């Protein structure tokens, strides 16, 4: 098989071929390591490549195929994956996108890393994140910027920018990310991928605690809906002592994606997010065209007036910026935006933080209330297309924050409410950059949005690859 075609093959198909004996884990790992060596110097998607370790593990798994019955193999056995550099992997550096932490070795695996290993995946390395995972572009001080494989002058988004760039360029089969305000959905949008933010409580933060009042969650990024669903099945699950949790799905999310039969749904849509306004150009068109496609698939589709999110902005910012104080990073080691956030956080009282959490919960109740007449909400993922690298570098922090809010506005409300949301690619804009939409479900409604996304994907498949990734 052509190595490029193999690199872009769906992860679940790779797993199937390994189980059938048509591929080995070593075959797959070698394809991706070769591509990383050839392409990532220009892309900047990885901060750590664990080549020797990945090869050794792939060899061991290849030998294991000779002695282990197929039915006893874990679900993603032999599939190469990347891990975001906010999640520790024992024996690999974990810098969190902060130059102060460069070279600091992790001594234990994060809880989801343990689950990913148990599922049989081979870890290729750690992918770039924005500094402390705060910003929606991946250009942390002291690190090369991550670039968008569709156009290297543009961002792949953030904070899971390296994960999305690597996957879109065929430098891993599937990617782990995390989403505290769109950090899975935004990079998926920027890079033409499927990004799923699960419901609050779907994925545990064990063995550590969750620090942002339930705003953030880990989540999968895949080339297909089924890939994202399969990785969600791996990552999800209760761990002893979790502060909130959801029951395991039945059937599995992967089975739901494979079937792709959501039934007839009530789907609201809007292209306007107050107080920002109307989505621009191709982002607006993507929503309107998707609404038509959903109607043709037999769903009841209608426009809705979404609540004004003006009052969400300040409490969300107060809670989110607190991570910089909690982490204890000396401000001298932070970039301009995060120094500003850290200064703001330093003068924020505990009372103000708790009032902000409470305010977010009130706003979340109002938002979920709007879903009483909806099964799914169709929205832009972002309000306009990907930005250029350093596009906002000349602005003062307060102005940059305004720009960020105007770009990512459709995403953070559903971090506050804890609802599931999936970003889907729909095509390319006039500049050849990916466009897409997001589908938001009711609380704990992953199965519905996954089934609907799979139905859309089947009716209008997305198979394009960036030229950068195919010209080897």
* Residues labelled as active-site residues: 84, 159, 183
Residue 273 to residue 257: CA distance in whole angstroms: 29
3-state SS class at 219: strand
Q: How many CB atoms lie within 10 A of CB 402?
A: 15
Neighbours of 85 (CB within 10 A): 30
Q: What gap in Å lies between CA 449 and CA 367, rounded to an integer?
A: 17
List the beta bridge partners of residue 379. Answer: 438
User: Is-contact 130 95, C-beta < 8 A?
Assistant: no
Asked whether the beta carbons of 146 and 103 are under 8 A apart, the reply is: no
Distance CA 107, CA 93 (A): 9
If we measure between CA atoms, which residue out of 325, 357, 355 comes closest to residue 341? 325
Give dist(CA 422, CA 82) in Å, integer. Answer: 20
User: Count of CB atoms within 10 A of residue 462's CB?
Assistant: 17
The residue behind tokens 């169709």 is 378
């Amino acid at each position: 098989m052509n190595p490029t075609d193999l690199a872009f093959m769906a992860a679940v198909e790779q797993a199937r071929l390994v189980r059938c004996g048509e591929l080995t884990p070593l075959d797959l790992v070698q394809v991706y390591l070769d591509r990383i060596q050839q392409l990532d110097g220009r892309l900047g998607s990885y901060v750590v490549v664990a080549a020797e370790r990945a090869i050794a593990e792939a060899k061991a798994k290849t030998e294991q195929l000779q002695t282990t019955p197929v039915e006893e193999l874990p679900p993603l056995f032999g599939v190469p994956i990347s891990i975001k550099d906010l999640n520790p992997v024992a024996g690999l550096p974990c810098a969190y996108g902060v130059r102060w932490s460069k070279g600091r070795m992790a001594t234990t695996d994060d809880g989801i890393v343990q689950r990913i290993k148990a599922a049989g995946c081979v870890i290729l390395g750690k992918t770039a994140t924005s500094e402390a995972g705060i910003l929606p572009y991946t250009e942390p001080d002291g690190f090369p910027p991550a670039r968008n494989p569709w156009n290297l002058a543009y961002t792949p988004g953030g904070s899971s920018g390296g994960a999305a760039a690597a996957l879109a360029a065929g430098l891993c089969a599937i990617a782990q990310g995390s989403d505290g305000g769109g950090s899975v959905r935004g990079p998926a949008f920027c890079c033409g991928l499927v990004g799923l933010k699960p419901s609050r409580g779907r994925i545990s933060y064990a063995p550590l605690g969750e620090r942002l009042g339930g705003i953030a969650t880990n989540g999968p990024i895949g080339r297909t809906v089924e890939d994202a669903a399969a990785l969600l099945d791996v990552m999800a699950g209760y761990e002893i002592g979790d502060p909130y949790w959801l029951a395991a799905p039945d059937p599995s999310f992967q089975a739901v994606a494979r079937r792709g039969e959501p039934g007839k749904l009530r789907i609201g849509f809007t292209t306007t997010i107050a107080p920002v306004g109307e989505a621009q150009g191709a982002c607006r068109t993507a929503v309107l065209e998707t609404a038509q496609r959903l109607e043709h698939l037999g769903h009841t589709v209608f426009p809705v007036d979404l609540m004004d999110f003006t009052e969400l902005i300040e409490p969300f910012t107060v809670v989110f910026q607190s991570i910089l104080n909690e982490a204890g990073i000396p401000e001298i080691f932070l970039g301009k935006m995060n120094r500003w956030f850290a200064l703001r956080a330093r003068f924020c009282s505990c009372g103000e933080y708790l009032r902000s959490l409470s305010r977010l919960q009130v706003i979340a109740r109002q938002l979920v209330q709007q879903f009483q007449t909806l099964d799914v909400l169709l929205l832009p993922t972002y309000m306009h297309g990907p930005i250029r690298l350093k596009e906002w570098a000349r602005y003062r922090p307060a102005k940059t924050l305004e720009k960020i809010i105007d770009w990512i506005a459709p995403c953070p409300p559903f971090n506050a409410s804890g609802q599931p949301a999936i970003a889907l690619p729909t095509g390319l804009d006039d500049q050849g950059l990916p466009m897409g939409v997001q589908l938001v479900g009711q609380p704990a409604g992953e199965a519905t949005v996954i089934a609907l996304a799979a139905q859309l994907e089947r009716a209008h498949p997305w198979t394009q690859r960036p030229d950068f990734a195919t010209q080897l």
